[in-house]
Structure 1
Amino acid sequence: MNNQELENWHDYEVESRREIVALLRQIGEKHQLIRMLVKGEADVCVTSILEVDPDTNTMVLDRSIDRSQNDRIVAAGEVRCETSLDKIRILFTADELRPTQFEGRDALRADIPATLIRLQRREYYRMETPVSNPVRAIIPLPPELAISTGASSAVFPLHDISCGGIAILDNKLQLDTTIGADFPNCRIELPEIGPVTVTLQVRNSLDITLLNNKSNRRLGLRFIDISRGGMAGVQRYITKLERERNARLAGLA
């Protein structure tokens, strides 16, 4: 989990203090393990919530069995945490970590997070689209590009698709990367399903250097005002991709 992911998922942010406290308590009561990323994936501690105390605005976390790792956690002051609750992924940040005692043993105390991410829907579940049968997104170009290229729109291959949006590859760096920019009247051609017309909104952008040193850009785009029929088409296509992937995995098993 990184800042890019958190930006992608800000729409699933929970800000209600009562709801945050309730979720954290359920995680603790169900003894759900929590991955605490001290320095990303290179330094991970598995912990659990021992207590949530809204009166002091703090929660108590189990400490690492590695003393030096505990020192690093306290020194970091703020760490990313991820866990799940009833198959729903939960992401939050633990701030102001400090040593404490809980029921006679060493533990860690942190402030209750002001917000957390709850990925409760399938929208965040992304399926990569096949390279062998690429999905095309036809997106109108801005007027200045349309004049210079003589084309009113351009074709972009999809990198992945979810029920919330798509990621495309913009290898010619043609599109606006401003967060919140809208591209109306886009057409996504789903193989064996048909075209879906929708407004796409920029949520994130990532410049990539390929192995051949060529540059590429991946744009994360959210569906805006997608029709019920369009969403049904997207869901059918994702189901189709899942079946094909499962068939491949079964063949390899």
Structure 2
Amino acid sequence: MQSNRQDADLENWHDFEVVSRREIIALLRSIGEKNQLIRMLVQGEADVCVTSILEVDADNNTVILDCSINTEQNQRILAAKSLSYETTLDKIRILFESERVEKCTFEGAPALKIALPQALIRLQRREYYRMSTPVSNPVRVVIPLPAELGGGSSSFPLADISCGGIAMLDNKLLLGDSIGKQYTDCRIELPEVGPIVTSLQIRNSLDLTLLNNKSNRRLGCQFTDMARGALNSVQRYITKLERERNARIAGLG
């Protein structure tokens, strides 16, 4: 899903795509109930209308929006082939899109109607600082595989780690790319700290093509059901990585 995101500090955010219909409906209803204003981008940043959600009609898969007070802008909105929307909910930015807008009425007043989005992007400030893990001697996570993936377990190298989760590399494409898929009893051996066990939920997926034309998949995973002791171990390991990195920088200086 492509969105108009021009933030210079986008690296300070991470995004989760929401594709669950139930979750999308719940998020949009919360935005409406809290009277959150929505920026409707008609032609990128050049033509912006402020609107709000009047109703989420789950039975008809539509969302009813307030129309602009500007008649000409309403005409441009109705003529547009695609529009982007941006709002916030509990300090988390929500982005979605629609292909077209139709005229309708809501409680006797003019309104706009769009199809229920099939996906949303939640942009959230990183709560946790992420540290890259060693490449030459990678930290690995062992994940028990469900029966539909052949059972047993498999080991995957980490790309980075934070107190919120990990990014791992699935070069054999064993796990698929299903956002929201959860794996339980995953074991990560943290060098000089010890093993931790946690559940992992896939939150984003990125397919990569390496220089040797081999494909790889980077999966961003969130820790779930993690014990406080395991979280403390992750924090100790991140602190260790920071110290080692700082020492390397000082040595190069």
| TM-score (structure 2 length as normaliser) | 0.56
The structural deviation recorded for 1:189 is 3.1
How many Å separate the matches in 1 of 2:101 and 2:40? 15
Give 1:57's aligned amino acid: I
Residues 46, 156 of structure 1: alpha-carbon distance in 2 compared, 3 angstrom cutoff: farther
Residue in structure 2 matched with residue 59 of structure 1 by the alignment: 66
The structural deviation recorded for 1:215 is 1.5
Give 1:91's aligned amino acid: L
1:226 aligns with 2:230: no
1:45-124, aligned counterparts within 5 Å? 45=46, 47-50=48-51, 53-54=54-55, 57-60=64-67, 74-77=79-82, 79-84=83-88, 87-94=91-98, 96-97=100-101, 110-111=112-113
The structural deviation recorded for 1:88 is 2.4
How many Å separate the matches in 2 of 1:202 and 1:93? 23
The structural deviation recorded for 1:197 is 0.8
Residue in structure 2 matched with residue 177 of structure 1 by the alignment: 176
1:27 aligns with 2:37: yes
Listed one character per residue, the Cα deviations across residues 105-138 of structure 1 (whole Å, up to 9, x for unaligned) are xxxx743785766566857x67352455743223
Equivalent position SS for 1:26: coil
Equivalent position SS for 1:171: coil
In structure 2, runs of 5+ residues without a counterpart are 4-14, 57-62, 105-110
Asked whether the 8 Å contact 1:95–1:111 carries over to 2, the reply is no
The structural deviation recorded for 1:199 is 2.9
1:15 aligns with 2:26: yes
The structural deviation recorded for 1:212 is 2.4
Instruction: Number of aligned residue pairs: give it.
Output: 220
Listed one character per residue, the Cα deviations across residues 64-122 of structure 1 (whole Å, up to 9, x for unaligned) are xxx9xx96984324x3323446742222335643699xxxxxxxx74378576656685
1:158-169, aligned counterparts within 5 Å? 158-169=158-169
How many Å separate the matches in 2 of 1:61 and 1:126? 41
Residue in structure 2 matched with residue 103 of structure 1 by the alignment: none
Identity of aligned pairs, percent?
A: 46
How many Å separate the matches in 2 of 1:241 and 1:118? 29
Residues 85, 176 of structure 1: alpha-carbon distance in 2 compared, 3 angstrom cutoff: closer
How many Å separate the matches in 2 of 1:37 and 1:225? 42
| TM-score (structure 1 length as normaliser) | 0.56
Asked whether the 8 Å contact 1:12–1:118 carries over to 2, the reply is no
How many Å separate the matches in 1 of 2:246 and 2:18? 30
Listed one character per residue, the Cα deviations across residues 10-66 of structure 1 (whole Å, up to 9, x for unaligned) are 89746166522144x3336xxxxx48496xxxx655635156555993223699xxx
In structure 1, runs of 5+ residues without a counterpart are 29-33, 101-108
The structural deviation recorded for 1:165 is 3.5
2:130 to 110, 127, 131: 127
